[in-house]
Amino acid sequence: MSRPSQAKLTTPNQPGVSVIQSQVAAAAPSATAASLQQVPQLIPAHPAAGGGKAAPPSKMKKQQADKDSEEYRQRRERNNLAVKKSRMRSKQKAMDTQQRVNELKEENERLEAKIKLLSKELSVLKDLFLEHAHNLADNVQPPAAAAGASPGPNTTSANGQ
């Protein structure tokens, strides 16, 4: 349900420093000129309780300073880089996995085909074998009651797994 809306305070940010995208050229025909800035967004629900207001009276000098800090920017940049790297890997991995699926599927089919083939071969041999056995039995057998010899169609399937 509702989501406590978030607040965003105006961040007193007027950084004059950073920003700036250097070249957008390349392939940007239409101007998306819009700045792509995200600007502040939610506000931390302050732990401060008290029931007063939440105005940002002070305390942000430090923060501001932090953000302007060269140190900070550097860290951010490094992290952004790491993030990109990580995400790239993640995507790559996903793709690899997908491909693995395809490969395995293919191999599976090959294996199944092979099984089919082997099964057939086996069945043929078995038939031959049985046939032979019958012949032998018939032949070797002395004249006796061999009347109803029916070379029954012997099925060769006795596979179980």
Partner DNA sequence: TTGAATTGCGCAATAG
Partner DNA sequence: CCTATTGCGCAATTCA
Q: Which of residues 40-99 bind DNA (CB under 7 A)?
A: 41-42, 67, 75-87, 89-91
| Choice between 8 and 137, CB closer to a second copy | 8
Q: Does 151 bind a second copy (CB under 8 A)?
A: no
Dihedral angle computed from the Cα positions of residues 48, 54, 60 and 63, in that order, rounded to the nearest 10 degrees: 60
What b/e readout covers 83-112, taking b as 16+ CB neighbours within 10 angstroms?
eeeeeeeeeeeeeeeeeeeeeeeeeeeeee
The residue within the footprint of a second copy, chosen from 14, 139, 147, 150 (CB under 8 A), is 14
Q: Which of residues 47-86 bind a second copy (CB under 8 A)?
A: 47, 53-57, 64, 67, 70, 73-74, 77, 80-81, 84
> Tokens for 13?
């940010």
> Tokens for 77?
């940049």
| Choice between 17 and 125, CB closer to DNA | 17
Question: Minimal CA–CA distance to 13: which of 46, 60, 71?
Answer: 60
> Tokens for 8?
């965003």
Taken in order 23, 27, 29, 30, the sign of the CA dihedral is negative
Site string for DNA, 6-45 (x = CB under 7 A): x-x--------x-xxxxxxxx-xxx-xxx-xxxx-xx---
The residue within the footprint of a second copy, chosen from 82, 83, 88, 128 (CB under 8 A), is 128
| Choice between 2 and 161, CB closer to DNA | 2
